[in-house]
A and B are shown apart, each in its own frame.
Chain A
């Protein structure tokens, strides 16, 4: 009998630069054609385990390793790189950082070229990989211009061209719209059916389930907490740490008898003077490029908590960049508190409207968190005596007290993200706009800060409710819209397709699917319970309504 593709036995690892164990006595065996899902919160060691499997540990990362990792019966550490690369194919989280060539053909050929294969062989492997993933139409394209989903598929094709027997996918779905993520998962499933062993790292268990994993490995702090099938509900898995399907959460909450308070009712829309008005806004990036926005009309009122949904590349970011004046409309106009953005500088608008960009690494620069937070208020020439107060308040809002003297670039990703939000909060703008605030963050982390930020209920006493009048966020995570918004905008085909309360907009499943938003189990559960609840609730709170 041939050896198992992967056997891990008593694997323990400690990074040289860290005192604590990153992996603690992990054991695992995989069969050919098996699909394993690995889940766990941020920092639990998923990527470290992946690095042990693909040989980067011990080859590139220094530390102390003990235990065994056997690929088809041979110890990883003893394999040569080219052998290694043909056994395990690794797809990293961010295709942007994995694609090394400027055009698709070269990208897929890269691995086989490195193996020194004959030219004919390489060309035929590239063609096979393209065909397997239905990507022939991209063959001659530049990699830079591909959409996020296409990039991810091209990166996968590059890995497949090496003919690996094991595929290792480390959070491959981040920043894809739900439909693209679903398509990617179906591809992973079919690769497993063809006999490849697939290891999928993903903390959004809910989404990953559509790839029908055979087993699931759940980790906490470097240890295996659960390893087994996923049909029955695994009690060991903490629903506050990873995102589970809503029925599981309900079941778990009931079984454990957790008492969950119902979140306060969101403030009802305060009608009144709109803060932001889009009037017939059309926009194109250049005269010879197509229109991205066409006759968009939108009003943001005090009290709004708006979620913007829509496919990758639809123009959501383009839309909100207009609100802060980074882009000016080609036709139509935008009014901020009654003033035309054409007549205002971005800095002037920033007094009213704060914009948090998607990636924290695009804006953090200062040597300390304190200085990072002072940057905005100083630019806006606020009273120097008031600035420290603003800074302190926003730090405690995002739960970063005590970090004022830390270098922001040395913080973890989640902390960095919160720093950027605090940096915008410190500017005391009335409206907060966030572009995909939860992308690349783990579940526990983002639930925490979304709870804080969106707690603008009547009785909330946070400084947020005192300062902020409205919040708008772009997201690919439908559940965020279900849980936190009091208004949902569906954007697609260059304009706003639907605008209304979550309960109204999200009940039209067909409409959602048309715009690449896939209904989730939380949405389904909520829809089936609206008669009783009267509004959308997070999964924990729904438990009280399910008999």
Chain B
């Protein structure tokens, strides 16, 4: 099992941006949507379109992500479905309790019990589900390309130049350094135990004993890593880590015109969302006329 970090250099608009710009932009959109709690499709939809455009601009090969998308959709439907089933008072989705015509009902029952209830699906709930999915996709598809399009060697530097401490930034770098090592160690351990007749498929018994049977896989890898750590600490001390403020050789990231453009856009989005919601009261949830009309 080789962890291949799926980053590849490409000549794209996205990859020509400063990594800091991309991180800032990503957080501006997430925070713009979540802090002022935007639920108005007229704001969400344009942002969704923007995210989607950026996603396509990243030009990730389909084979790299084809396993991911089904998962994302299952997750979305799961969240939306769960919300429909359980929603009650409090929280943003209580808006779905607004009086609204019931389109159909779904009977729901907890397996092996008599507990169950009917879940009425209203027009309001349906529109909420759509908005919710769009809103979450807007955030998700901004993050999905990051591992494919951002050089793993630059994260530490990027965080450093965003103002994080030497130590935090280097922790990032070091974590990337060890990721493939431990993935390989794990697969060696798996092979070594299989050669001793261990079969993962044969995990039997109750939950506890099944979890216990994982010990032969987990313990060697974890203990090996604690021993490795001691030597790495020595090696770093011997090369003067933490003695003074470090230079980061690669930290000559510069913002170019396109970065300023994206940063401006990020600021506009975040401030815009806040101002619209808190200044003008725009951004609340409502069911648009055309959707209501669909059912009348």
Contact = CB atoms under 8 A, between A and B. Distances in A.
B234 A92 contact: yes
Contacts of B199: 345-347, 379
Interface residues of B, number: 50
B181 A96 contact: yes
Interface in A362-386: 362-366, 375-376, 379-380
Nearest to A112: B247
B157 to A, nearest CB: 9
B188 A357 contact: yes
Interface in B180-226: 180-181, 185, 188-189, 191-199, 215-216, 218-220, 223-224
Contacts of B224: 359, 361-362
Interface string B221-260: 0011001100111111111111111111110100000000
Contacts, number: 170
Contact of A97 (B176, B193, B232): B232
Contacts of B233: 60
Interface string A80-123: 11101110111010101111111101100111111111110011
Contacts of A162: 239-240
Contact of A114 (B189, B227, B239): B239
Nearest to A155: B235
Contact of A100 (B194, B197, B236, B240): B236
A376 B195 CA distance: 9
Contacts of B235: 90, 92, 97-98, 100
Nearest to B3: A144
A175 interface: no
Contacts of B177: 99-102, 143-144
A427 B196 contact: yes
A56 interface: yes
Nearest to A89: B238
A115 B195 contact: no
Contact of B238 (A54, A103, A423, A427): A54
A59 B243 CA distance: 14
Contacts of B165: none
A115 B244 contact: yes
Contact of A102 (B176, B219, B249): B176
Nearest to A358: B188
A192 interface: no
A365 B196 contact: no
A375 B246 contact: no
A326 interface: yes
B40 interface: no
Nearest to A381: B197
A118 B239 CA distance: 17
B37 interface: no
A85 B238 contact: yes
B243 A115 contact: yes
A335 B153 CA distance: 46
Most buried by A among B152, B215, B216: B216
A85 B239 contact: yes
A36 interface: no
Nearest to A348: B197
Contact of A346 (B189, B195, B247, B249): B195
A499 to B, nearest CB: 24
A171 B227 CA distance: 18
Nearest to B191: A326
Contacts of B242: 114
Contacts of B227: 361
Contacts of A326: 191, 194-195
A289 B228 CA distance: 30
A23 interface: no
B220 A424 contact: no
Given A100-B236, A424-B196, A365 B247 contact: no
A82 B243 contact: yes
Given A114-B240, A357-B188, A119 B252 contact: yes
A115 B166 CA distance: 13
A350 interface: yes
Contacts of A100: 173-174, 177, 232, 235-236
B153 A363 contact: no
A162 B235 CA distance: 13
Given A85-B239, A113-B249, A361-B220, A101 B173 contact: yes
Q: Ordered nearest first, which 8 A-B pairs have the shortest CB separation?
A: A379-B197, A365-B219, A111-B239, A85-B240, A97-B231, A363-B192, A376-B196, A114-B240
Given A85-B239, A117-B247, 11 more contacts: A56-B234, A90-B235, A90-B238, A92-B231, A109-B249, A114-B246, A118-B247, A347-B194, A366-B216, A424-B195, A427-B197
8 contacts: A81-B237, A84-B238, A106-B250, A113-B246, A114-B246, A321-B191, A361-B224, A362-B185
Interface of B: 152-153, 173-174, 176-177, 180-181, 185, 188-189, 191-199, 215-216, 218-220, 223-224, 227-228, 231-250, 252
